[in-house]
Amino acid sequence: PFAAYEMAPLDPIIGLNEEFQRDDFPQKVIVGVGAYRDDAGKPYVLPCVREAEQRLVEQKLDMEYSGIAGDQKFVDLSLKFGYGEDSSALKEGRIQGVQALSGTGGLRVFGELIRRHGQKHIYVPNPTWGNHIPIFQNSGLEVRKYRYYDASNSSLDFDGMIKDIQDIPAGSCVLLHACAHNPTGMDPTLEQWKQLSELFKKKQLFPFFDAAYQGFASGDAILDAASLRMFVDDGHLLGTIQSFSKNFGLYGHRVGTLSVVGSNADEAARVVSQMKMVIRPMYSNPPRHGARIVSTILDDPKLKSDFYEQCKGMANRINTMRTKLRDELEAVGSTRNWDHIVKQIGMFAYSGLNKEQVMEMRAKHHLYCTADGRISMAGVTTNNVSYIANAMHDVSK
């Protein structure tokens, strides 16, 4: 039955790891997948996560199936983390959700859900996280793009964004990155978010927030939720996917929450019941362990404050590396302006290097970043920063 199967291409982001493995150059460097590394280039498990795990082991919990919607305590704590402890919409029961298979799984369920309930397309920023497009296409939606980034001066194209959003048909679902836009690292300012909120109201658009980096933008997880909280305060009915991969460093545990803000508690409950209809035949129920880790942390004042501090530590290390990388580029004699590396926020530097330059870096310097010139700043360390700067300068002078 398999004779006609062709070998599929490597994934444009995750496939880099395979190519990197095959490269035996001793100084090879990978700054591809967005996964945090410590300054020694090693994966980092947050100490608060280790401590929560220890407590969980001691409790000798059972390993029964979760419900279709997952761990309710985790979902409640996650919604408070995203929407705010004092959110009135949350207190009114208008915000409800399910545990999701991290960001990716939640996006897929959401795509399926809105398609079943009448949406034909979804609007995403151009550019956006590469996987958004196949996720929504596989949900049966047509993916359309709105302008987001001005490559000519490495900044947000806010005017273009407003113009394109103005033309979106009423009722359409529009994806917004809550903070630390992937791949560009450029977010609207709070004033611009306010303008967007007003425009979404006027045009009767349906906002959907992808919150994959809460805590990674400013280093303060509360500040990073400002866009989402503003939209909720402004009375929007919306959807949100929260991922705990990056901020809690729980990548492989697949922890997330998919939620909606409805006009009342009954409406939100009806939407959640429909999410469960999507989930049951898709994967039945989500894994337990990672959700227990997050809820142990968010339910304990000491672990929670440790989390805020450790998350800030990751964001700070990245910011230090942004400055170092820009300074090293200047030190090796680059005459190009690299200020955007310092200005951008979150995990990535959208370097402005084109595909040819990226391929040249790969061939000549064994330096691996994605074809769009996106560099995962989380993989830049004190030891490799000058090597990276040299390679970037060499292909761009």
Q: Which does residue 14 touch among ligand PLP, ligand TYF, none (CB within 5 to 8 A, set by kind)? A: ligand TYF
Q: Residue 373, interface with ligand TYF (CB under 6 A)?
A: no
**Of 123, 122, 128, nearest to 13 (Cα)?**
128
Judge whether 210 counts as a catalytic residue. Answer: yes
Backbone conformation region of residue 231, classed left if phi is above 0, alpha if psi is from -120 to 50, else beta: alpha
Q: Specify whether the CB–CB gap between 187 and 220 falls below 8 A.
A: no
Residue 218 vs 245, nearer CB to ligand PLP: 245
Residue 243 vs 296, nearer CB to ligand PLP: 243
Judge whether 372 counts as a catalytic residue. Answer: no
Rounded CA separation 244/250 (Å): 6
Rounded CA separation 34/32 (Å): 6
Residue 127 vs 262, nearer CB to ligand TYF: 127
Rounded CA separation 196/227 (Å): 10
Judge whether 338 counts as a catalytic residue. Answer: no
Q: Residue 34, interface with ligand TYF (CB under 6 A)?
A: yes
DSSP state of 285: S
Residue 110 vs 387, nearer CB to ligand PLP: 110
**Of 359, 358, 328, 353, nearest to 342 (Cα)?**
328
| Torsion angle, alpha carbons of 229, 232, 233, 235, to 10 | 170
Rounded CA separation 347/370 (Å): 14
Cα separations in angstroms, 367 against 8, 31, 328, 376, 377: 24, 8, 16, 12, 13
Sign of the torsion angle spanned by Cα atoms 103, 132, 123, 266: negative
For the segment 208-227, give every residue that binds ligand PLP (CB under 6 A): 210, 212
Using CB under 6 A as the binding criterion, the count of chain residues that bind ligand TYF stands at 8
Q: Residue 34, interface with ligand PLP (CB under 6 A)?
A: yes
Binding mask 159-188 for ligand TYF (x = CB under 6 A): -----------------------x------
Binding mask 109-138 for ligand PLP (x = CB under 6 A): --------------------x---------
Q: Which does residue 224 touch among ligand TYF, ligand PLP, none (CB within 5 to 8 A, set by kind)? A: none
By CB under 6 A, name the one of 20, 83, 110, 129 that touches ligand TYF: 129
Q: Which does residue 384 touch among ligand PLP, ligand TYF, none (CB within 5 to 8 A, set by kind)? A: none
Q: Residue 13, interface with ligand TYF (CB under 6 A)?
A: yes
| Residues near ligand PLP (CB under 6 A) | 34, 102-104, 129, 177, 182, 210, 212, 243, 245, 251, 256
